[in-house]
Amino acid sequence: MSTQKATFGAGCFWQVEELFRTVPGVISATSGYLGGNKENPTYRDVCNDDTGHAEVVEVEYDPSVVSYDTLLDLFWNNHNPTTLNRQGPDIGTQYRSAIFFYSPEQEIMARASKAKMDASGKFKKPIVTEITPASTFWKAEDYHQKYLFKRGMTHCHV
């Protein structure tokens, strides 16, 4: 089986991880940090909002079962991509809406899906989601992994 990666930032990673973790074809969904300037950041580092990292979920998936487009649709439809550096009560650059791509094809697909979503009229404000190349993914501390699942909160909506 050949797998691919997709990484999304859509606010607090706990809910985003739970959303993707249960999708058929997703092998793993891992909470972590990406897009910043500090090696091996901790949750405390990222929450101080001075490392440049976003809270993200790295999704490893089987493209023969679930498409990147399907993952993009889940991303767009489960958070507010029009609020800059904020999702609900969570405020800071670490909560920004972001798609980190791993190939030119993913970049093209992400930009096309953003344009399509912007043109759809679903959102009253312009989409502010950043689309940038993936850099080093830093796995979050173990207590963040499957956080909602471990607490029996598997029916949460982002």
pLDDT tens, residue by residue, 81-133? 999 999 888 888 999 999 999 999 999 999 999 999 999 999 999 999 999 99
- Enter the pTM of the model: 0.89
Computed over every residue of the chain, the mean pLDDT equals: 89
Instruction: Report which of residues 82 and 142 the model is more confident about.
Output: 82
Whether domain 4-150 has CATH 3.20.20.70: no
User: In the chain, what are the domain boundaries?
Assistant: 4-150
Residue 12 annotated in active site? yes
pLDDT digits (tens, 9 = 90+) for 24-49: 999 999 999 999 898 988 888 888 87
Taking residue 35's Cβ as centre, other Cβ atoms within 10 Å add up to: 24
14: confidence class by pLDDT, cuts 50, 70, 90: confident
Helix axes 104-120, 68-77, angle to 10 degrees: 40
User: Per the residue annotation, which of 5, 9, 11, 12 is the catalytic one?
Assistant: 12
Which residues are 98's β-sheet partners? 9, 130
